[in-house]
Amino acid sequence: MPYPVGQVLFHALRDGLTHQYSPHRIVLDGQEMRISFTWKDPLHLRVVGVRSRDGHLSTVPLSQNEDRWPRLCVDAETLWRDLDALFDELEHSLEVDRELAQTVERHSLALVHADEVERVADAVYLGKALLAKANTRVPLFKLVEHGNESAARHGRAGKRFD
């Protein structure tokens, strides 16, 4: 899948599920559509129609669509197989390329350390807020600002409190 397509799907799914409990609609070739998850459907990343049966949606050819929107089918089993194959490929690459393995280890340790530093900074700030005198007010936005400043140092500004 091309990277830009993956980004569109990721944001439609992540942002939609996080904020609306439903994937956002996407636009494909000028056509607005919804995303539908399936568990074992060979029509992965294909535009399909849906039909409601006993309270469940089933994929059907687009010509038989009973819904207002066409759907882009995203199949969980296919995603899992692709991800599993990618991990196998990565594992093999790390086994045969010692330099790559060392680079990955250095980068992952740096990320873990950066995350630990951020968590400690957040805990210290929160601790100060909790230990403040009873009549001292620490506005919640200060905690959020601090968290976002900390996240910005690690390239994650605006994502921390979603």
Reported pTM: 0.57
Residue 59 is predicted with a pLDDT of 92
CA 95 to chain centre: 28
Say how far apart CA 121 and CA 22 lie, in whole Å: 34
Domain coordinates in residue numbering, the chain: 3-81, 114-153
Structure tokens that stand for 132 in this block:
């403040």
> How high is the pLDDT of residue 159?
35
Q: What is the pLDDT of residue 129?
A: 53
For the chain (162 residues), the mean pLDDT of every run of 10, in chain order, is 80 83 84 88 90 90 93 90 90 90 85 71 58 48 42 42 34
Q: Give me the count of residues in the chain.
A: 162
Q: Locate 96 and state its tokens.
A: 């045969």
Q: Alpha-carbon distance 70 to 108, whole Å?
A: 41
